[in-house]
Amino acid sequence: MRHSALDVCSTLIFNLFIGIVLNAMEEARIRDREEHETRDLLARLRGAREALEDAERELQKAPRTIT
């Protein structure tokens, strides 16, 4: 079976298009994962900050003793 130049070019262009789409999807997946990691880290930092502020308030309420 002999392939014409048009068949070969069509196949190459189609494969190139598939590669471009797959690359774009991978880049979007990486960006999405980085955004989720950033949001998760910010939420953990907010939680830690709130816990620290709560602890500071408790310390301010506690009677002070000199040792």
Query: 66: part of which helix (H) or strand (E)?
Result: none
Sequential DSSP letters for 41-65: HHHHHHHHHHHHHHHHHHHHHSPP-
pLDDT at residue 19, rounded to an integer:
98
What are the extents of the domains in the chain? 25-59
pLDDT above 70 (res 66):
no
* Rounded Cα–Cα distance for residues 28 and 66 (Å): 58
Model confidence over 2-51: pLDDT tens digits? 779 999 999 999 999 999 999 999 999 999 999 999 999 999 999 999 99
How many whole angstroms separate alpha carbon 24 and alpha carbon 31?
11
* pLDDT the model gives residue 65: 74
